[in-house]
Chain A
């Protein structure tokens, strides 16, 4: 019994040592900087994304910064145009009712605003595929004189001078330093979360109880499979290829399409096949927005296709459609509208105080 006190002290000391060891292990080397990781839930049945976030880890703070940048009109030369100005959520991040993109000083571009969703599955960007990585895609509209017309160096200085930006860059990346790399990675994180794979069509394909096509929608789906699916391939409803659909050339715009990028005459008038998802929400149609109504597009494929050297063999002779078939196709396309994208509060506009 003499050594009882000693043993108690030893036991207590051992416990202390354990506690100390555990504490040490919890301390990271990050100096208090911590982000909340995010995992994207990808729609079942979709292929592996092209863009992976291995060099740009998706975090709550990164996405929040990207969203703030996306809706900040101060990014443009005259503080009038944000990314969200042309990419409106209710139009599936396309530009409602505008044939051609427009930007600072009321200027107009030569192509329509592409919709922004399922971007992480794209291999290349723009109507002609000229941009090869999602991270650098925003460079084009930012610096284009007819769009946001900004000088990148001045923009970075402007952001660095804004306490709100410094705070958000710090939260997302650990320090207040504003760099173009961080800015573009944050935008990429936000745009990467714009995913559309939850339309009524998807519920039906996934056999969700109670989800079913009406007879007309089912007939429309069959028509789609026969006449459209070769280019507008499921589940993305595009095969991401570049094709000439025989749309008559417009001298006023003088747009040669993908040939501008490859320098190859075989690519004359070829443009990227757009997705049919959310198509009824994202008019106008075609690379130059010349059709405001989907029935004009049906009519074009029925009797408007111009047969040129590069017109795709699949549509060269047109795709004959009766009035009833057009109606059925319309009803099928309606099932591709994804209200969880259009109404997603995490993607909606944030108000930026001047």
Chain B
């Protein structure tokens, strides 16, 4: 009788062993001792734009540069990226990779939230004005870096790190317009500039409050200490000495307010 097999001792053993083996196979692989949980918080950074100490007013306010050239700003945009903190031991702690396009015309872009701030005592914040060369070289990007944002040069690949546009009586262009598009990530015309600002705070484990700081960008710094003249250079549309000159100025424009 074939059914006798079900009563055989060996078969009973196999039958009992099978589900046990199956259960063992299905059991989740134990993780090799989980590392102790690390506490991270966020850091909020509000940016305001000022001209000679007062809030920047686009389109209607007429300003004057150190050369006495009168001008109106219509567009003011720039990238910030590669945020890092410096701790009290002098160590640089990079934060989660993020690229921000700050546009004076869009208030929501002036409120940055930085992620992955670890526990520690921090003394400074550090960031890049612009988009690093790695991103400039690695093909199409999305989000703030998407090409339809109008901050990308197509004929000579690369991001416009910062742009200021407007009109000036001094400009000799047809409609007295000026367009300063500052970009270029290759030597000798590399405009990438790192900024480090003192900013003191402490992150302790399970802290509830998110550290919050205000940063000011003083647009008047675009015109000093290097001469920046609308009469001489109304249009900057590619990497070059004129762009580097402006970048050397605007590197000084940021400060922490509170």
**Residues of chain A whose beta carbon lies under 8 Å from any beta carbon of chain B:** 1, 3-4, 7-8, 10-11, 14, 17-18, 21, 55-56, 126, 130-136, 139-140, 143-144, 152-153, 156, 179-181, 184-185, 188, 260-261, 263
- CB neighbours (8 Å) of B147 from chain A are 136, 139, 152, 180, 184
A10: which of B15, B26, B138, B142 is its contact (CB, 8 Å)? B15
Residues of B in contact with A (beta carbons under 8 Å apart): 3, 6-7, 11-12, 15, 18-19, 22, 25-26, 136-142, 146-148, 152, 154-158, 189, 239-240
| Cα-based distance from A10 to B156 in the complex (angstroms) | 72
Secondary structure call for the A interface = helix
Nearest residue, chain A, Cβ from B152: A139
Asked if residues A133 and B157 are in contact (CB atoms below 8 Å), the reply is yes
Q: In the complex, A17 Cα to B15 Cα: how many Å?
A: 13
Asked if B157 and A180 sit within 8 Å, CB to CB, the answer is no
Q: Is the CB of A180 within 8 A of B142?
A: yes
Tell me if B15 and A4 are in contact (CB < 8 A): no
* CA of A21 to CA of B27, assembled, Å: 12
Chain A nearest Cβ from B22, distance in angstroms: 6
Known: A7-B6, A8-B6, A11-B15. A263 touches B189 (CB 8 A): yes
Among all A-B residue pairs, the 3 with the closest Cβ atoms: A135-B139, A152-B148, A184-B140
In the assembled complex, the CB of B136 is this many whole angstroms from the nearest CB of chain A, namely 8
Smallest CB separation, A163 vs chain B (Å) = 22
Nearest chain B CB to A13 CB, angstrom units: 8
Interfacial chain A residues near B155, Cβ < 8 Å: 126, 130-131, 140
Report the separation of the CA atoms of residues A115 and B239 in the bound assembly, to the nearest whole angstrom: 28
Contact of B22 among A21, A130, A135 (CB under 8 A): A21
Q: With A4-B7, A131-B154, A133-B137 in contact, is A180–B148 under 8 Å at CB?
A: yes
Query: In the complex, are the beta carbons of A132 and B19 less than 8 A apart?
Result: no
Q: In the bound complex, what is the Cα–Cα distance between A139 and B137 (angstroms)?
A: 15
CA distance A262 to B138 in the complex (A): 19
Question: In this complex, what residue of A is CB-closest to B138?
Answer: A133
Complex: A4 Cα to B12 Cα, angstroms: 10
Q: Closest Cβ of chain A: how far from B181's Cβ, in Å?
A: 15
Show 19 A/B contacts (Cβ-Cβ < 8 Å), sorted by A. Answer: A3-B7, A7-B12, A14-B19, A21-B25, A55-B138, A56-B139, A133-B138, A135-B140, A136-B140, A136-B154, A136-B157, A139-B147, A139-B154, A152-B147, A181-B141, A184-B140, A184-B147, A260-B156, A263-B189
Contact A140 B154 (CB under 8 A): yes
Q: Is the CB of B22 within 8 A of A14?
A: yes
Counting chain A CB atoms within 10 Å of each CB, the highest count among B12, B139, B155 belongs to B139
Q: Which residue of B lies closest to A144 (CB)?
A: B154
- Pick from B22, B140, B155, B240 the residue with the most CB of A within 10 Å: B140
Closest-CB distance, A15 to chain B (whole angstroms): 9
Among B142, B155, B157, max chain A CB count under 10 A is at B157
B148 lies within 8 A of A14 (CB): no
What residues of A have a CB within 8 angstroms of the CB of B136 in the complex? 132
**Beyond A17-B22, A18-B22, is A132–B137 a contact (Cβ under 8 Å)?**
yes
Beyond contacts A55-B138, A130-B157: 17 other A-B pairs, Cβ-Cβ < 8 A, are: A1-B7, A3-B7, A7-B11, A11-B15, A14-B18, A131-B154, A133-B139, A135-B140, A136-B152, A136-B154, A136-B157, A139-B154, A180-B147, A181-B142, A184-B139, A184-B147, A263-B239
Which of A3, A4, A134, A144 touches B139 (beta carbons < 8 Å)? Answer: A134
Contact between B15 and A7, CB atoms less than 8 A apart: yes
Is the pair A153, B148 in contact by a Cβ cutoff of 8 Å?
yes
Residues of B within 8 A of A55 (CB): 138-139
- List A contacts of B22 (CB < 8 A): 14, 17-18, 21
Instruction: State how many angstroms separate the Cβ of B47 from the closest Cβ of chain A.
Output: 24
Q: Which residues of A contact B141 (CB under 8 A)?
A: 181
Per the bound structure, the CA–CA distance linking A135 and B145 in Å amounts to 14
Q: Which residues of B contact A14 (CB under 8 A)?
A: 15, 18-19, 22
